[in-house]
Structure 1
């Protein structure tokens, strides 16, 4: 009974807002507001509100919701265990992983750039920091080294 009263009040308020909007010559918006405000009364008249109220306060309905939750939890638990088990025991999973690694040829992952004419790159020694501070020529030494490396 209270749900029907609330729905009727909401619809009446919505129709009032629609009338004010139409008075301001915003007819498209007013029509849209009127359409939305008629929905609660339509739900009351079709019995949907009464059905929802009966289900919301029904202990049987809430037990059913609880059982659905438990069912979902059981499905997710079994799925998680199934994924974690995977190929069987831990030794089998490690063996399968090692077999997949060995299946790829070692040279397949190395890029083939042809024969190199330049000597192998030597690691650069670390530069000692000067106690007096860096001068302007020292700032560009990295850039010069890169340009020399590329032959520029």
Structure 2
């Protein structure tokens, strides 16, 4: 009974402040204040305030909140341990496979050896003379020399 009266008085005071704010031509702020002030009135009308008042003084309800808090604490602890220990089962399996040198998806790790991977031979042209008969592998000889020089 007292909680409902207090909520109704807070709503009435909030609507009064909203009216004064609207009188000062600050309509957006007045609408926001009116919205906030209607919340306690809506809670009284739905019966949520009465339920909350009965819950606040119930030892069973407080025990229930304690159980919920304990469950939340267990969830957060298990997540922290899981992050620290290396993640989920899938992640651990992938890490073990990587440590052994195996690929998790061997087909994805294998290089493509299709026709596009081989260098194509240059077409022979009469204007280039002796260079026209050179293979594509001769074109990369200078690059190979540089790589060998650096030990790659």
Normalised by the size of structure 2, how large is the TM-score?
0.50
Q: Which has the higher contact order (CA 8 A, sep 6+)?
A: 1
Shift of 1:96: 4.4
Higher share of residues assigned helix: 2
**2:22: which partner in 1?**
22
Q: Map residues 2-151 of structure 1 onto 2, 5 A cutoff.
A: 2-75=2-75, 80=81, 84=85, 96-100=97-101, 114-117=143-146
Q: CA deviation at 1:51?
A: 0.7
Which secondary structure state, in structure 2, belongs to the residue aligned with residue 71 of structure 1?
Answer: helix
Once residues 14 and 40 of structure 2 are traced to their aligned partners in structure 1, the CA distance between those partners, rounded to angstroms, is: 10
What corresponds to 1:125 in structure 2? none
Residue in 2 aligned with 1:123? none
Give structure 1 stretches of 5+ with no counterpart: 109-113, 121-152
Q: 1:40 to 1:99 in 2, by over 3 A?
A: same
CA distance in 1, matches of 2:29, 2:146: 76
Distance in 2 (alpha carbons) for counterparts of 1:95 and 1:43? 56
- What SS does the aligned partner of 2:144 have? coil
TM-score (norm 1): 0.50
Deviation at 1:29, TM superposition (A): 3.6
- Distance of 1:95 and 1:39 partners within structure 2: 55
CA distance in 1, matches of 2:66, 2:39: 30
CA RMSD across the alignment: 4.0
Where does structure 1 differ by over 6 angstroms across 4 or more consecutive aligned residues? 92-95
Structure 1 residues 116 and 52 mapped into 2: Cα distance closer, same or farther (>3 Å)?
A: farther
CA displacement, residues 56-104 of structure 1 (integer Å, 9 cap, x when unaligned): 22110111122223334445556647x84977xxxx999645313x65x
Q: 1:116 to 1:27 in 2, by over 3 A?
A: same
